[in-house]
Amino acid sequence: MIRAALALCVALLAALAPLAAQDSMPPAPYAYTQLEDPRLEAEASALMHTLRCLKCQSQSIADSDAAMAGDMRHQVRTRILAGESPEQIRRWLIARYGDYVSYEPEVSATTWPLFAVPALVILIVAAVLLRRLGRRRSDADDDAGETA
Amino acid sequence: MRNRLFLWVPLALFAFFAGLAAFMLTQPKDEFVESTMIGQPLPDFALKPAFGGLPGAAKADLVGGQPRLLNVWASWCLPCIAEAPQLEELRQKGVEIVGIAIRDRPEDVADFLARYGNPYSRVGSDPISEVQLAIGSSGVPETFVIDSKGIIRYQHIGDIRESDVPKLMAELEKAR
């Protein structure tokens, strides 16, 4: 029974394989090859961890094995090698795909409430706490005054 | 009494967010990443021919004359087979279609076009998705309307269905 189930699974996988067909081309030169200069590679790697893979949207391009992520890593490394700063490369990608492509939080017309709301909440909490604590202290002072 | 009503506010908030989350879970996920290059000029590029039969593609080939379609595709992409008849239909309506073959081999490109028809005037080879990234395309197939000044005017994501042809014709007309 288990064997039959296994055989069925294998057959299903074999049937599904063509659906997942990707290209058979070798990856771009810098998709899986690090830069020679460790300092530049560190810069590139840090940037790649904060860029979204467009094919597999919950991964960064550093984590993804999708061919397109490889091509994006190639872009990042060759641009770093050509002297561009990580921020320039991020801007270049954001100009093409919107800030969705970047995992680095960005304050923009649509995202500012995300930053404003917590600040507002902290202010409100601070105001309430100050009022309550202030009241309690003056109560305590009054008590002290009465017992003296 | 007023204070007691106030006590329900956190529960109401919680119910609101739980309801919102439940509702959003039932909504289909939009997987498409749209290009933010619409309205921008096509970046400079010059691609070698993707196979022996047609010339390669460069920005200069898409500037001047009538608006054109720039079709990003690949021989290994299944939806590209599905949109082949629609591309042929657009070609017969007089639309020039320039192709960019992503991570493809000349023999595969030639084989694909022999099998499913060749609607292209040129096909450039983009083995490392360089031009694809430069125009903000995130997959295959995608089709861009390029006006005579070389400005990207419209992006169609995914295969072109029969029902998409009028929309593309209208966008081409608008780009005139």
Give the confidence band of A20 by pLDDT, cuts at 50, 70, 90.
very low
- The string of pLDDT tens digits covering residues A101-147 is 999 888 888 889 999 999 999 999 999 999 999 887 777 666 665 55
In a domain, B18, yes or no: no
In a domain, B162, yes or no: yes
- Give the span between the Cα atoms of A138 and A23, in whole angstroms: 75
In a domain, B74, yes or no: yes
| Mean pLDDT value across residues A61-70 | 94
Q: Can you give the length of chain B in residues?
A: 176
Residue A96 contacts B, CB cutoff 8 Å:
yes
Q: Please, what is the Cα angle at A99 between A93 and A101, to 5 degrees?
A: 55
Asked if the Cβ–Cβ distance from A97 to B35 is below 8 Å, we say yes
Report the half-sphere exposure of B12 (CA within 13 A, side-chain side): 5
In a domain, B87, yes or no: yes
Q: Which domain holds residue B142?
A: 46-174
- Give the span between the Cα atoms of B175 and B83, in whole angstroms: 22
Residue with tokens 């919950």: A58
Q: What residue of B is the nearest CA neighbor of A57?
A: B31
Closest CB to B104 among A23, A29, A57: A23
Q: How far is A147 from chain B (nearest CA, A)?
A: 32
**Residues of chain A numbered 5-24 and touching chain B (CB < 8 Å):** 19, 21-24
> Smallest Cα–Cα separation from B173: which of B90, B66, B100, B70?
B66
CB B94 within 8 A of CB B68: no
Residue A58 contacts B, CB cutoff 8 Å:
no
Amino acid at B146: I
Q: Please, what is the Cα angle at B71 between B65 and B76, to 5 degrees?
A: 155
We report the CATH number of the domain holding residue B64 as 3.40.30.10
Closest CB to B103 among A25, A72, A93: A25
In a domain, B100, yes or no: yes
Residue A25 contacts B, CB cutoff 8 Å:
yes
At A18 the pLDDT is: 42
Q: Which residues pair with A51 in a beta bridge?
A: A102
Asked if the Cβ–Cβ distance from A96 to B76 is below 8 Å, we say no
- Give the span between the Cα atoms of B45 and B61, in whole angstroms: 10
In a domain, B101, yes or no: yes
pTM comes to 0.80
Closest CB to B76 among A23, A55, A96: A23
CA B171 distance to own-chain centroid:
14
Residue A139 corresponds to which tokens in the numbers above?
């109560």
CA A75 distance to own-chain centroid:
18
- Give the span between the Cα atoms of A10 and A17, in whole angstroms: 11
Q: How far is A48 from chain B (nearest CA, A)?
A: 15
For the stretch A56-61, contacts whose Cβ atoms lie closer than 8 Å and that sit 24 or more positions apart, written own/partner, are A57/B31, A57/B33, A60/A103
Chain A residues touching residue B111 (CB < 8 angstroms) = none
- Give the span between the Cα atoms of A69 and A49, in whole angstroms: 11
Count Cβ atoms within 10 A of the Cβ of residue B165 and give its class: 0-12 exposed, 13-18 middle, 19 or more buried: middle
CA B107 distance to own-chain centroid:
24
Residue A72 contacts B, CB cutoff 8 Å:
yes
Chain B residues touching residue A75 (CB < 8 angstroms) = 130, 133
Residue A124 corresponds to which tokens in the numbers above?
């409100």
Over its length of 176 residues, how does chain B's per-residue pLDDT go in tens digits?
Answer: 567 888 899 999 999 999 999 999 998 877 788 999 999 999 999 999 999 999 999 999 999 999 999 999 999 999 999 999 999 999 999 999 999 999 999 999 999 999 999 999 999 999 999 999 999 999 999 999 999 999 999 999 999 999 999 999 999 999 99
At B24, give phi and psi (nearest 5°): -65, -30
**Residues of chain B numbered 97-136 and touching chain A (CB < 8 Å):** 102-105, 127-130, 132-136
In a domain, B116, yes or no: yes
In a domain, B12, yes or no: no
Amino acid at B48: K
Number of domains in chain B: 1
> Smallest Cα–Cα separation from A26: which of A86, A91, A70, A82?
A70
Q: Can you give the length of chain A in residues?
A: 148
At B33, give phi and psi (nearest 5°): -105, 110
CB B10 within 8 A of CB A36: no
